[in-house]
């Protein structure tokens, strides 16, 4: 088992942001294509990262969204509570999820610029809401897909079945 030490009293290691961007009448979901050294591969992920000491999950999520994508959220629509485990059979890693709305037409989001750490290799990927699952299925030929991203896409698609 790999051990990860949380930096906050809630024992939450990180936060993922499910971000919906609306711009010029279209709706997209915002993802990161990030190189992951442990797998030696590019992975499609939700923006996210470590929840620091003194930060709420929502604050951490909004900070990570801005750093990793350059986008500023207009609103937080939902936020999970409790602790969501990422792979409980192998890791003690826990997370929370924040659902954010981005106004892509707002001046603050006109020219989004990532603010990555030196070691981060990441690119922003926008996927049209109406093509979410089909695009992810196409991308899986060249990228690893984070399990929470794939699960979200399947669940989102199921609402229309």
12 neighbors 82 (Cβ within 8 angstroms): no
For residue 79, tell me if it sits in a domain: yes
Total of domains in the chain:
1
Per-residue model confidence as pLDDT tens digits over 83-95: 888 777 877 778 8
pLDDT of 17 over the 70 cut: yes
Domain presence at residue 8: no
Where in the sequence is the domain holding 130, given as residue range(s)? Answer: 14-158
Of 97 and 4, which is predicted with more confidence? 97
6 domain-assigned: no
Position 130 in a domain = yes
- Answer for the pair 124, 70: CB distance below 8 angstroms, yes or no: yes
Task: Give the integer Cα–Cα distance in Å for 43 and 90.
Answer: 19
Whether 116 maps to a domain, the answer reads yes
Q: What is the CATH number of the domain that holds 145?
A: 3.90.79.10
Average pLDDT of the chain to the nearest whole number:
92
pTM score: 0.91
Is 72 a member of any domain? yes
Residue 3 is assigned to a structural domain of this protein: no
């Amino acid at each position: 088992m790999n051990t990860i030490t949380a930096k906050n009293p809630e024992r939450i290691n990180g936060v993922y942001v499910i971000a919906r961007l609306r711009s010029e009448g279209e709706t997209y979901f915002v993802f990161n294509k990030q190189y992951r050294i442990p797998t030696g591969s590019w992975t499609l992920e939700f923006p996210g990262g470590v929840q620091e000491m003194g930060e709420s999950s929502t604050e951490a999520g909004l900070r990570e969204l801005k750093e990793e994508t350059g986008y500023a959220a207009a609103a937080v629509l939902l936020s999970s509570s409790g602790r969501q485990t990422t792979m409980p059979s192998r890791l003690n890693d826990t997370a929370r999820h924040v659902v954010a709305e981005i106004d892509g037409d707002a001046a603050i989001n006109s020219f989004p610029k990532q603010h990555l750490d030196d070691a981060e290799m990441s690119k922003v990927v926008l996927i049209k809401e109406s093509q979410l699952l089909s695009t992810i299925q196409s991308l899986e030929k060249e990228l690893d897909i984070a399990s929470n991203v794939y699960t979200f896409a399947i669940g989102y698609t199921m609402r229309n079945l």
